[in-house]
């Protein structure tokens, strides 16, 4: 039985990447060592991390005045690092579009010397849409924070709004390398790796140099400027995660780069959205103009039927389709490495289930 992994993260990785990692597991480039055993100060690992950075810069067209950092702690640590480095004694603006935005807001509010203002929210409708941004915002704010793709709720920013001169900070964990955004429209981008980049444990931060903190942070590990000065090697970084990220970046490049893979992602998402729209049983809880191409929730409107579908799907090899507990129903996470065959198989299963369960 073929297994299709719809997990929101840790998520599916390209088979070619896993095969390469398997072939190099015991002996990386005739070193007699696994990458997991290499010193982070060795020339072999220096080549890995530099290649990873160069590839990411190429794939995302990252300008020279941005630093690329490979850190630990997940995107959740960035909820604190961002205001700690960028907004001490200042105001930070937030757009609240879901569970992860709420956590970022809460983390910023926990800092005594940061003023937090939520300038827009979609909580009134259970985060089923992307809210409109006010035409005027405080231009003296340190930054405005957005979550570009909401993994749990299935919404996304199709285009990045203009916030004037206020730098945009983006949690891009679930749609990095799967959009046509321009890096120069952001002051800082951060992303946990476990969705489109690699295994859990690695976090990528892309930060404009002029935003690097001028004053040292009390905790060196949380200091962007110090991490940048040390080229992400202030301490032992997540070496194996960086190695897998390098392989994934190579794979993305071979798929036609971000443009090529985003086109394929849109194709996969459209297939599933069309199937949902044409169904008499399944429906999307998300407003059309706000729908994500990466994480697609759908429901029947009957909790018992949703449960039956999830159980039947699991028996057929469709793993991790159950929706987040805050939303319910089902959720298909179609990250870059998820094959289109899996989408087609899911649609066929949905059609069969609908016929068997009273669909018209």
> What are 202-247's pLDDT values in tens digits?
999 999 999 999 889 999 999 999 999 999 999 999 999 999 999 9
Selected catalytic residue, list 171, 223, 265, 306 = 171
Say yes or no: 247 and 99 in one domain: yes
d(CA 244, CA 97): 30
Does the predicted TM-score (pTM) go above 0.85?
yes
75 in a known ligand binding site: yes
Active site residue 100: yes
Report the Cα–Cα distance between both ends of the chain, in Å, rounded.
29
97 in a known ligand binding site: no
* Interval 182-212: pLDDT, tens: 999 999 999 999 999 999 999 999 999 999 9
316 in a known ligand binding site: no
2 falls within a domain: no
41 in a known ligand binding site: yes
Domain total in the chain: 2
Among 254, 284, 311, which residue terminates a domain?
254
Q: Check pLDDT > 70 for residue 360.
A: no
Selected catalytic residue, list 195, 246, 268, 322 = 195
* Interval 81-132: pLDDT, tens: 999 999 999 999 999 999 999 999 999 999 999 999 999 999 999 999 999 9
Where in the sequence is the domain holding 48, given as residue range(s)? 15-254
Q: What is the pLDDT of residue 175?
A: 98
Among 239, 254, 269, which residue terminates a domain?
254
Say yes or no: 226 and 269 in one domain: no
d(CA 176, CA 60): 9
Q: Is 148 helix (H, G, I), strand (E, B) or coil?
A: coil
Say yes or no: 139 and 125 in one domain: yes
Give the count of beta carbons closer than 10 Å to the beta carbon of residue 80: 17
Query: Please, what sign has the CA dihedral across residues 48, 49, 50, 51?
Result: positive
Q: CATH number, domain at 229?
A: 3.40.640.10
Q: Check pLDDT > 90 for residue 326.
A: no
What is the DSSP code (8-state) at residue 131? P
Say yes or no: 101 and 211 in one domain: yes
Say yes or no: 246 and 334 in one domain: no
Q: What is the pLDDT of residue 359?
A: 57
275 falls within a domain: yes
DSSP 179-201: S---GGG-SEEEEESTTTTSSTT
Say yes or no: 349 and 240 in one domain: no
Selected catalytic residue, list 67, 90, 100, 180 = 100
Among 225, 254, 283, which residue terminates a domain?
254
5 falls within a domain: no
194 in a known ligand binding site: yes
151 in a known ligand binding site: yes
């Amino acid at each position: 039985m073929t297994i299709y992994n719809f997990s929101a993260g840790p998520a599916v990785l390209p088979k070619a990447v896993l095969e390469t990692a398997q072939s190099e597991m015991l002996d990386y480039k005739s070193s007699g060592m696994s990458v997991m055993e290499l010193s982070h100060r060795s020339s072999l690992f220096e080549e890995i991390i530099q290649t990873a950075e160069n590839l990411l810069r190429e794939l995302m067209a990252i300008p020279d005045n941005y630093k690329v950092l490979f850190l630990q702690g997940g995107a959740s640590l960035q909820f604190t690092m961002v205001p700690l480095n960028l907004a001490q004694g200042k105001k930070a603006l937030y757009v609240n579009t879901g569970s992860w935005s709420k956590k970022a807001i809460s983390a910023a509010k926990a800092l005594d010397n940061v003023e937090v203002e939520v300038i827009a929210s979609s909580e009134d409708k259970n985060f089923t849409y992307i809210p409109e941004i006010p035409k005027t915002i405080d231009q003296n704010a340190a930054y405005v924070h957005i979550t570009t793709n909401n993994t749990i709720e299935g919404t996304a920013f199709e285009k990045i709004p203009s916030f004037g001169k206020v730098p945009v900070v983006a949690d891009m964990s679930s749609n990095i390398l799967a959009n046509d955004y321009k890096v120069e429209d952001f002051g800082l981008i951060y992303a946990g790796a476990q969705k489109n980049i690699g295994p859990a444990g690695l976090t990528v931060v892309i930060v404009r140099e002029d935003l690097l903190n001028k004053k040292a942070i009390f905790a060196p590990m949380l200091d962007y400027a110090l991490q940048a000065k040390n080229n992400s090697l202030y301490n032992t970084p997540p070496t194996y995660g960086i190695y897998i990220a390098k392989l994934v970046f190579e794979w993305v490049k071979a798929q036609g780069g971000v443009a090529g893979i985003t086109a394929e992602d849109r194709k996969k998402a459209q297939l599933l959205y069309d199937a949902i729209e044409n169904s008499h049983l399944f429906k999307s809880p998300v407003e059309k103009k706000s729908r994500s191409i990466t994480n697609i929730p759908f429901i029947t409107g009957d909790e018992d039927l949703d449960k039956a579908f999830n159980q039947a799907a699991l028996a057929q090899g469709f793993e991790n389709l159950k929706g987040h507990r805050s939303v319910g129903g089902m959720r298909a996470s179609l990250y870059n490495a998820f094959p289109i065959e899996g989408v087609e198989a899911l649609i066929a299963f949905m059609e069969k289930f609908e016929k068997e369960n009273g669909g018209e």
